[in-house]
Amino acid sequence: MKLRNIALFFFVLSILLLTIGCDEVPTKPDIDSPTDLMVTVVTEGRINLTWEYLKQTTGIRYVIGRKVGDGEWIDEYGESTGKSFVDDIPTNSYTVYSYKVKGVSADGETSSFFSEPVAYLSPLTAPTDLNIDQVAQNELKLSWKDNAIGETGYRIDRKIGDGKWTEGYKTVPANTTSFKDNFNDLFVSINYRVYAYAGTSITAKEEISFTPVYPKPTNPSIIQLSPTEVKFNWAYEQADRENIEGFEVYRKIGTTDWIPLTITNNQAEEVIDVPNHQVSTLAYRVRSYKDTYFSAFSDPVELHFNITPLGSLTLSDIGNKLHVDEDKAYIANDFNGISTIDLSNPINPRINANIQLPDRTTSIDKKGNLLVAGSFNGRISFIDLNDNSIFTQLETKNPVYDIKIIEQNDIVYLLIANGSAGLLVASYDKNDPTDPKVISRYNTYGSSQSIAAEGNNVYLGDGYGGVLKFDISDPSKPVKTGENNGLGNCIDLNLLGNNLYVSTGSTGMKVVDKNSLQLINYFDTPGYVIDSDVTNRYAFIADNQVGLYLVSITNDLNLYSLSLIPSEYKLTSVKTKGNYIYLLSESSLQIIQVSS
């Protein structure tokens, strides 16, 4: 009897639970969901959302839901009585705009389920920078840049050899940037397509092809062992070593091309290199090989060999020109006048003083305790460095872009690159510099930017007017003795030996014979060469869009880059002294040591 009652209890309970469960099952609405949603661009900043509704009833209206990027759905964003909806959104954005639509009866009592979402994905939302790495003998790593904000995820299509595409081969979540895939056959091409999707919409497909051979070496590293030696290391799975013959190591110096350095056996994991340049930027990479098949190269690693950044100093205004003398630097610091810098500790340079001047300081030179500074408004200030006082000034007509102080027979002369006014020569008594006077002018066709002098010969960088050569045996009557107006925008000059080194902006640095002014060779850079300095072996070239190039000039006919030190800021001037490079940018002074 007791067992019968228990059985009856559970029977009644199961009937009640079944009844409750049946009450909670949602019933299909009388109104169907809209289909075939589509988003098109009407004009910049406006899209049109359309859909189909095959069983439309009189008086039905549509409610539009919208989701912006990674935000939440707004289920009642808009409403329409027709089968379209216009929305004003950025149509050139990384943000994904998703939409869904449902039908609602005229009395509002009944509605359909929302449709499948559709999205507007601008061309910017497509993945970019698609890359493949073979990370193991039978494993590939696919990587890309995730540009979309608010995608549902990424889909990956795959094709092997001449076969057909497997569309939607894999799907990965939103914000993913890589995917690993396994394969069975070496030397058979594999193609992938990657694209973002949101709802039923997709971006353009980024495609890449790869033929697996052998895995590339990983974890490359480089250290300097001594002033003459470098060690380059890499890693390779031991199981994979048995499938290869060895490794091929490549080296690159500066911005020159990659060249083979050495070949090792399949158990090697390092190479000791003795570079043939004592100062350079060295880069190394390695690949595995067997017979005539090679893996991809490892990631390159780079080392500034015997080049050591030391200290730096932030400027209060734009650094225009730099003069280095013994353990001090003097900077033409735009509206902040002249900044004098203590260089006695190159790891920690510090400002000694700021000498305020009436307007923008553009040029500078020094002789003994006398500092002369030129300005954009044409004024030259004479400063006594004993007390940093301005004791006299000289007015010119145009911006003073460069000044050089020379001395002849106890008379001191200022050679002035005076913009469109050409070459100016001023003079003052060696023992009494309080009364300087302009004694000659030579008008040119360009805009004078730079001066170089040697004995009675003066060289003028005249902008697009080229390089002009003068005899100033009589400084009151300069005589032009040569010119070359086919060199480009000549904005800085340096003399060394028989050569004149000319910075020419977007056309690099030109090497010119100082006697004939004929072009010997040139070194081009990607940006704009604003200044340079030269020693017996090297040219230090300041490209204000890229950085500092160190170039070998031991052979005039074979100029090549040994190093590139990128700069975050626009460079304006470079000077060398001893084993130090002083690099001036618009916002800082940096000191770099070279050990040679």
pLDDT tens digits, one per residue of 330-371: 999 888 899 999 999 999 999 999 999 988 999 999 999 999
Confidence of residue 57 (pLDDT cuts 50, 70, 90): low
Question: Does 480 fall in a domain?
Answer: no
Which of 305, 330, 365 is a domain's end point? 305
Question: Does 553 fall in a domain?
Answer: no
Q: What's the pLDDT score for residue 56?
A: 59
Q: What's the pLDDT score for residue 15?
A: 47
**Rounded-to-integer distance, Cα 352 and Cα 371, Å:** 15
Question: Does 243 fall in a domain?
Answer: yes
**188 with 142, same domain?**
yes
Q: What's the pLDDT score for residue 58?
A: 66
Which of 187, 210, 233 is a domain's end point? 210
**Rounded-to-integer distance, Cα 377 and Cα 477, Å:** 25
Provide the residue count of the chain.
Answer: 596
Question: Does 61 fall in a domain?
Answer: yes
Question: Does 82 fall in a domain?
Answer: yes
- The answer, yes or no, to whether residue 143 has pLDDT greater than 80, is yes
Domain CATH code at residue 242: 2.60.40.10
- The answer, yes or no, to whether residue 196 has pLDDT greater than 70, is yes
Q: Residue 444 has which token pair?
A: 């040119």
- The answer, yes or no, to whether residue 54 has pLDDT greater than 90, is no
Question: Does 161 fall in a domain?
Answer: yes
**130 with 114, same domain?**
no
**222 with 203, same domain?**
no
**130 with 168, same domain?**
yes
Give mean pLDDT, residues 490-505: 96
- The answer to whether the pTM exceeds 0.75 is no
**188 with 237, same domain?**
no
- The answer, yes or no, to whether residue 100 has pLDDT greater than 60, is yes
Give mean pLDDT, residues 318-340: 91
The DSSP bridge partners found for residue 206 are 194
- 141: domain range? 123-210
Give mean pLDDT, residues 291-308: 92
Question: Does 4 fall in a domain?
Answer: no
Q: Residue 331 has which token pair?
A: 């900077």
**131 with 57, same domain?**
no
- The answer, yes or no, to whether residue 145 has pLDDT greater than 60, is yes
pLDDT one-digit tens code per residue, 471-486: 999 999 999 999 999 9
**179 with 234, same domain?**
no
**Rounded-to-integer distance, Cα 580 and Cα 279, Å:** 12
Q: What's the pLDDT score for residue 26?
A: 47
pLDDT one-digit tens code per residue, 245-280: 999 999 999 989 999 999 999 999 999 999 988 899
- The answer, yes or no, to whether residue 200 has pLDDT greater than 90, is yes
pLDDT one-digit tens code per residue, 17-38: 444 444 444 455 567 899 999 9
**160 with 222, same domain?**
no
Confidence of residue 294 (pLDDT cuts 50, 70, 90): confident
Give mean pLDDT, residues 564-581: 93
Residues 6 or more apart whose Cβ sits within 8 Å of residue 77? 64, 65, 66
**127 with 187, same domain?**
yes
Q: Which helix (H) or strand (E) covers residue 11, if one does?
A: helix 2-24
- The answer, yes or no, to whether residue 142 has pLDDT greater than 50, is yes
Average pLDDT, the chain: 91
- The answer, yes or no, to whether residue 50 has pLDDT greater than 50, is yes
Confidence of residue 596 (pLDDT cuts 50, 70, 90): low
Which of 84, 102, 120 is a domain's end point? 120
3-state secondary structure 272-296: EECCCCCCEEEEEEEEEEECCEECC
Count CA within 13 A, CB hemisphere, residue 215: 23
Compare 448 and 431 and report the one with higher pLDDT.
Answer: 448
**113 with 51, same domain?**
yes
What secondary structure does DSSP assign to 297-365, as a single string? PPPPEEEEETEEEEEEEE-SS---EEEEETTEEEEE-BTT-EEEEE-SSTTS-EEEEEE--SS-EEEEE
- The answer, yes or no, to whether residue 430 has pLDDT greater than 70, is yes
**289 with 273, same domain?**
yes
Residues 66, 69, 72: CA angle, nearest 5 degrees: 55
**301 with 222, same domain?**
yes
- The answer, yes or no, to whether residue 4 has pLDDT greater than 60, is no
Question: Does 457 fall in a domain?
Answer: no
Tell me what percent of the residues of the chain surpass a pLDDT of 70: 94
Which one-letter DSSP state was computed for residue 81? S
Q: What's the pLDDT score for residue 442?
A: 95
Domain count, the chain: 3
